Structure 1
């Protein structure tokens, strides 16, 4: 069972890493075999993928995404806690509402992440 303290610490560190554009700190939260789902993958990578497998592939994707989003900034709206998952509700630099759910493995690393978006 995840605690509220764990969820808030994770959310704040995750958000800070993104706002600092620190790819190594961002990736430090994820397992080597992470699976990431997002409708943005296809847009950024110019293909029809909706899922990325593995930390190396995630690094490639996020490095490209960061190069395209020079004004990137996230602001937390809420943090939801589940048994083995945390969902961060936030507003991004495009004024979109985003819900990102992180499922953790036994080492407290993100094993699965699912990003969903509402239009601005």
Structure 2
């Protein structure tokens, strides 16, 4: 992790999402990615998305259905071989994504956690 500039990584990750360019987003992830998300559970029936091909299919559908998607970077939290990106999404929810890296600097495991909506 010492070779990764976490602030620059987080800024690039946010910019990739805001571009809606799936290839640019996917470039941050390793082929053996495991992604955990309550949104994936709602859309796919399973909150665990394993493998880059499956993640690509999930996000292809997600980007198509969220044309106003936009993230605002709030904080970058550093960990051991991981970081947490805290951001506000287009629904004004606070979201934390913890990203664990492999030896090549690609995300190998990711956890998305969402602020509960008030209701």
Q: Please classify the TM superposition score into its range, dividing by the shorter chain length.
A: over 0.9
Q: How many angstroms apart in 2 are the aligned matches of 1:24 and 1:6?
A: 21
Question: Which of 94, 97, 103 matches 2:94?
Answer: 97
Q: Which residue of 1 aligns with 2:105?
A: 108
Q: Which residue of 1 aligns with 2:32?
A: 33
Kept in 2, the 8 Å contact 1:85–1:101? The answer is yes
RMSD: 1.3
Q: How many angstroms apart in 1 are the aligned matches of 2:63 and 2:8?
A: 23
Q: Which residue of 1 aligns with 2:58?
A: 61
Q: How many angstroms apart in 1 are the aligned matches of 2:42 and 2:2?
A: 33
Q: Which runs of 5+ in 2 are unaligned?
A: none
SS in structure 2 at match of 1:59: helix
Q: Which runs of 5+ in 1 are unaligned?
A: none
Structure 2 residue 114 is the aligned partner of structure 1 residue 117: yes
SS in structure 1 at match of 2:96: strand
Runs of 4+ in 1 over 2 A off after TM superposition: 42-45
Residue 26 of structure 1 and its aligned partner are, at CA, apart by 0.4
TM-score by length of 2: 0.93
SS in structure 1 at match of 2:103: coil
TM-score by length of 1: 0.93
